[in-house]
Chain A
Amino acid sequence: MNSFTYKRATSQAEAIRDVAGNSNAKFLAGGTNLIDLMKMNVQQPGELIDINRLALKKIEEIPGGLRLGALASNSEVANDRRVRERFPVLSEALLAGASPQLRNMATVGGNLLQRTRCYYFMDTAFPCNKRVPGSGCPAIPGFNRIHAILGASDKCIATHPSDMCVALVALDAVIRVEGPRGVREMKLTDLHRLPGDTPQIDTNLQADELIVAVDLPSTAFAKRSGYLKVRDRAQYAFALVSVAVALEIKNGKIMAARLALGGVAHKPWRSQEAERVLTGAQANAQTFKAAALAAVTGAVPQKHNAFKIEMAKRAVVRILNQVAGGKQGGAA
Chain B
Amino acid sequence: MSANKQSGKAAGQKSGKAISQNKGIVGQPVNRVDGRLKVTGAARYAVEFPFENVAYAALVGTTIANGRIKSFDLSAAQKVPGVLHIMTHENAPKLKPVVTNPAEGDAAGRRVPMQSPVVYYSGQYIALVVAETLEQARRAAELIRVTYEEQPPATDMDRERGKAYVPKQRVAGKPADSTRGNPDAGLSGAAVRVDEIYRTPTEHHNPMEPHATTAVWEGDKLTVYDATQYTYGVRHAMAVTFGVPEENVRIICKFTGGGFGCKGTVWAHVPLAAAAARQVKRPVRLATTRQQMFANMGHRAETEQRVALGATSDGKLTAIIHEGLTHTSVYDEYVEPFSKPTHMMYATENFRASQRLVPLNVGTPTYMRAPGETPGMFALESALDELAYKLNMDPIQLRLINHAETDPDGKLPWSTKLLKESYKIGAERFGWSRRKPQPNSMRDGRYLIGMGMATAVYPVNHFPASARARIRQDGTAIAESSTHDLGTGAYTVLTQVAAETLGLPMERVRVEIGDTNLPKAFVSGGSATTMSVGSAIQGAARGAITKLKEIARADKSSPLYGATAEQVVAKDGRLSLSDNPAKGETYAEILSRARTEEVEASFDMQFNDRQKTHSSHSFGAHFAEVRVDPDFGEVRVTRFGGVFDVGRVMNMKLAESQMRGGIVMGLGMALMEETVLDKNLGHVVNRDLAEYHVPVNADVPHMDVLLLENFDEYASPIGAKGAGEIGIVGVAAAIANAVYHATGVRVRDLPITPDKLMGKGALA
Which A residues lie at the B interface, using CB under 8 A?
1-3, 41, 117, 119-120, 122-126, 138, 141-143, 145-146, 230-238, 240, 307, 310-311, 314-315, 317-318, 332
Residues B698 and A119 in contact, CB atoms below 8 Å apart:
no
Known contacts A3-B139, A235-B697; 8 further A-B pairs (Cβ under 8 A)? A119-B691, A122-B688, A123-B291, A143-B679, A232-B753, A233-B672, A311-B632, A314-B632
| Docked complex Cα distance between A117 and B691 (Å) | 9
Contact of A233 with B699 at beta-carbon distance under 8 Å, contacts A123-B687, A240-B754, A314-B631 already known: yes
Nearest-Cβ distance from residue B127 to partner chain A, whole angstroms = 14
* A contact residues around B695 at 8 Å (CB): 233
- 21 A-B interface contacts by CB (under 8 A): A2-B142, A41-B142, A122-B688, A124-B63, A125-B123, A125-B681, A125-B683, A138-B678, A138-B680, A142-B679, A142-B680, A143-B678, A230-B634, A232-B753, A233-B695, A235-B698, A307-B758, A311-B755, A314-B632, A317-B631, A332-B629
Residues A138 and B681 in contact, CB atoms below 8 Å apart:
yes
| Docked complex Cα distance between A77 and B200 (Å) | 42
| Docked complex Cα distance between A240 and B671 (Å) | 15
Nearest-Cβ distance from residue A51 to partner chain B, whole angstroms = 23
| Docked complex Cα distance between A188 and B518 (Å) | 65
| Docked complex Cα distance between A235 and B759 (Å) | 23
The verdict on B696 contacting chain A, using a C-beta distance below 8 Å, is yes
* A contact residues around B629 at 8 Å (CB): 332
The verdict on B622 contacting chain A, using a C-beta distance below 8 Å, is no
Contact of A141 with B680 at beta-carbon distance under 8 Å, contacts A2-B139, A315-B631 already known: yes
* A contact residues around B676 at 8 Å (CB): 143
Nearest-Cβ distance from residue B168 to partner chain A, whole angstroms = 32
Residues A126 and B681 in contact, CB atoms below 8 Å apart:
yes
* A contact residues around B63 at 8 Å (CB): 124-125
Residues A119 and B686 in contact, CB atoms below 8 Å apart:
yes
| Docked complex Cα distance between A232 and B139 (Å) | 34
The verdict on B429 contacting chain A, using a C-beta distance below 8 Å, is no
The verdict on B636 contacting chain A, using a C-beta distance below 8 Å, is yes
| Docked complex Cα distance between A116 and B747 (Å) | 31
* A contact residues around B679 at 8 Å (CB): 142-143
* A contact residues around B685 at 8 Å (CB): 119-120, 123, 142-143
| Docked complex Cα distance between A236 and B700 (Å) | 13
For B65, the closest partner residue in chain A by CB is A125
The verdict on B256 contacting chain A, using a C-beta distance below 8 Å, is no
Residues A233 and B671 in contact, CB atoms below 8 Å apart:
yes
Out of A126, A143, A314, A318, which one reaches B758, CB within 8 Å? A314
Q: B interface, how many residues as a size bin?
A: 35 or more
| Docked complex Cα distance between A332 and B754 (Å) | 11
Out of A126, A141, A234, A240, which one reaches B636, CB within 8 Å? A234
The verdict on B690 contacting chain A, using a C-beta distance below 8 Å, is yes
The verdict on B135 contacting chain A, using a C-beta distance below 8 Å, is yes
Contact of A332 with B758 at beta-carbon distance under 8 Å, contacts A117-B691, A126-B681, A237-B693 already known: no
Out of A1, A120, A230, which one reaches B138, CB within 8 Å? A1
Residues A125 and B122 in contact, CB atoms below 8 Å apart:
yes
| Docked complex Cα distance between A125 and B754 (Å) | 29
| Docked complex Cα distance between A117 and B139 (Å) | 23
| Docked complex Cα distance between A315 and B676 (Å) | 26
Contact of A1 with B758 at beta-carbon distance under 8 Å, contacts A142-B679, A230-B634 already known: no
Residues A238 and B631 in contact, CB atoms below 8 Å apart:
no
* B contact residues around A318 at 8 Å (CB): 631
| Docked complex Cα distance between A165 and B163 (Å) | 49
* B contact residues around A119 at 8 Å (CB): 685-686, 691
| Docked complex Cα distance between A310 and B680 (Å) | 28
* A contact residues around B754 at 8 Å (CB): 230, 232, 240, 307, 311
| Docked complex Cα distance between A318 and B754 (Å) | 16
For B136, the closest partner residue in chain A by CB is A3
| Docked complex Cα distance between A141 and B683 (Å) | 14
| Docked complex Cα distance between A122 and B139 (Å) | 17
Nearest-Cβ distance from residue B751 to partner chain A, whole angstroms = 8
Residues A1 and B139 in contact, CB atoms below 8 Å apart:
yes
Residues A236 and B696 in contact, CB atoms below 8 Å apart:
yes
* B contact residues around A231 at 8 Å (CB): 634
| Docked complex Cα distance between A234 and B683 (Å) | 27
* A contact residues around B687 at 8 Å (CB): 123
Residues A232 and B680 in contact, CB atoms below 8 Å apart:
no
| Docked complex Cα distance between A184 and B159 (Å) | 56
For A120, the closest partner residue in chain B by CB is B685
Out of B122, B693, B755, which one reaches A307, CB within 8 Å? B755
| Docked complex Cα distance between A313 and B77 (Å) | 51
Out of A41, A126, A236, A332, which one reaches B634, CB within 8 Å? A332
